[in-house]
Chain A
Amino acid sequence: MAELFIFFDQIYRILFLLIPVLVSVAMIVWLDRRVWAFVQKRRGPNVVGPFGLFQTLADALKYIFKEIIIPASSNKVIFILAPIVTMTLALIAWAVIPFSETFVLADINVGILYLFAVSSLGVYGIIMGGWASNSKYPFLGAIRSAAQMVSYEVSIGVIIINVLLCVGSLNLSDIVLAQKDLWFVIPLFPMFIIFFISALAETNRPPFDLPEAEAELVAGYQTEYSGMMYAMFWLGEYANILLMCAMGSILFLGGWLSPIDLFPFNVIPAPVWLILKILFLFILFALIKAIVPRYRYDQLMKLGWKIFLPFSLIYVVLTASFLMYFDLLPGN
């Protein structure tokens, strides 16, 4: 009986986390389009519901009622599996995100490695979708995206090492608590910038949205997808973007901590601060989409391998020597 109780308790906790995440993914799509429109002096979606808030729900309803077309020459199992993989991987990563000191689904020892592993698995949804479609544009898009995501993962890994040197633990709650006095965005500011740009590339956001460059590849790996399967790719992508924003705010912006420990700020509950930081990063993502033109593919690779990787490696050496010299290395 006790096991059954634990089981249902866990399911309740998972739903309590997943449903808000899914709803906020829907809201964030609206916010993205809205910010994009405001930069370009348009109105954006403003018809469905107050301020157009329910636009995404309306879109999702439209996708549900559309016919799912599976190409005759595709590899059907993998074709159907691809959007499921994308969506699942985007959601399971939320298990380790700490919303406050106590409110975390799975407080595992190697939380940051888990996040990194899940985000590096994300490339499979895209490769599977692109290959199983058995069509030229999706395949080209998939290959581009695989190369891009593998390249930028390397620099994200090195940036994470920078943060870990300052923390001395792989646990996400420890990483947040280590920033109690000073957010890592201040000493590691260059790394924050590189992390932000690499996150743009990792989630295939503009200016690095080459896998779905509509001028060259129709819609990249999503070309053959329709209806609900397309919507799952789309939601998975936005859930991934939110996840990257959460990762950025935990690594650099102090997670659930309030900026200063004074009266009006420390009354606000911890999860609100994390959500505000995620929103801040997401609005930056949306602004970048509106104001920066798309990179060329060789420029993208050059930026990843020849600029970001050496620079972040040098910064690892710098951080390590600084901590060593001033005897600030976290003990165990």
Chain B
Amino acid sequence: MIAHAIVFYIFSLIAIVSAIMVTVSKNTVNSVFFLILDFISISCLFIMIGAEFLGMIMLIVYVGAVAVLFLFVVMMLNVAQQKNEWFNSSGRSSHIPVGLLVSIIIFFELIIVIGGWKYKPELLDSIAIEINTELTNTQSLGSVIYTDYIHLFQLSGMVLLVAMIGAIVLTFRQRSGVKRQSYFKQISRDRKDGIELVDVENNKGVKIDA
């Protein structure tokens, strides 16, 4: 049990320190690397409480895909300098009050959720699903999502689809003058389309591209 607690505190310490470093570090790319460290230690915490499916999905989705795209954007845009300028010129900027308001609201929401769980245990009884401890959490998650809440699941899928289509529409542009390869065209070409035999008269030559 003591070893368990020690490991828990190590992971949470890493998570908290790297979360602070995300906002503090000057170089944006370093921030993203700290964010990745944060994701990894949080997924380790998930695995420690027995939610191994959630932990692995966290690694695959957030670290394996989302953070890679973050890194891409940060590396390509060279945001490192912009961020520094942004900090230096923050004399009369209006984003700090808004940010403060949002973070205070999030803080109180967290207090309500965690405090309710700690001091009003009967709140947990409002959960409609009985938790079956016999199954692995992959199976129980699957049965809850795909049978009990299938309509909500499909609804969220539709929302994501709309978001994806929106992103494609926003970034799609048809460039002219780009040579594209079409496998079908290449394969269906035969000798007649490419080669033309011409009888050339003496001293006349041939007009190409006539």
Contact = CB atoms under 8 A, between A and B. Distances in A.
Contacts of B149: none
Interface string A95-120: 00000000000001110011011001
A146 interface: yes
A113 B64 contact: no
Interface stretch (B53-61, B115-123, B150-158, B196-204): B53-61
A170 interface: yes
B181 interface: yes
Contacts of A109: 52-53, 136, 138
Contacts of B139: 332
A131 B75 contact: yes
Nearest to B76: A143
B135 A332 contact: yes
Contact of A114 (B56, B65, B75): B56
A284 to B, nearest CB: 24
Contacts of B63: 117, 120-121
Interface string A154-170: 00010000000000001
Nearest to B58: A117
B22 interface: no
Interface in B73-119: 75-76
Nearest to A127: B71
A298 B182 CA distance: 12
B181 A123 contact: no
B9 to A, nearest CB: 18
Contact of B52 (A108, A143, A146): A108
Given A117-B59, A121-B59, A150 B68 contact: yes
Contacts of B75: 127, 131, 139, 143
Contact of A120 (B36, B53, B64, B76): B64
Interface residues of A, number: 27
A212 interface: no
B52 A120 contact: no
A78 interface: yes
Main secondary structure of the interface of B (DSSP, over half): helix
Interface string B25-50: 00001000100100000000000000
Contacts, number: 62
A143 B72 contact: yes
Nearest to B67: A124
Contacts of A121: 59, 63-64
B56 A110 contact: yes
A157 B65 CA distance: 12
B33 A78 contact: yes
A146 B67 CA distance: 11
A117 B56 contact: yes
Contacts of A113: 53, 56-57, 60
Contacts of B181: 298-299
A237 interface: no
A113 B53 CA distance: 8
Contacts of B138: 109-110, 170
A124 B36 contact: yes
A49 B76 CA distance: 48
B56 A120 contact: no
B29 A146 contact: no
A153 interface: yes
B186 to A, nearest CB: 12
B106 to A, nearest CB: 28
Contacts of A3: 3
A170 B53 CA distance: 10
Contacts of B52: 108-110
Nearest to A119: B64
A50 B112 CA distance: 71
Contacts of B76: 143
A330 to B, nearest CB: 11
Which of A110, A170, A298 is packed against the most chain B CB atoms within 10 Å? Answer: A110
Contacts of A299: 181
A123 B64 contact: yes
Which of B64, B65, B181 is packed against the most chain A CB atoms within 10 Å? Answer: B64
B115 to A, nearest CB: 32
A157 B56 CA distance: 13
B104 to A, nearest CB: 35
Interface string A129-141: 0010000000100
The 3 residue pairs across chains A and B that have the minimum distance between CB atoms: A120-B64, A113-B56, A117-B59
12 contacts: A110-B56, A113-B56, A114-B56, A116-B60, A117-B56, A117-B60, A121-B63, A127-B71, A131-B75, A146-B72, A150-B65, A153-B65
Given A116-B60, A120-B63, A121-B63, 8 more contacts: A3-B3, A110-B53, A113-B53, A120-B65, A123-B68, A127-B71, A153-B64, A170-B53
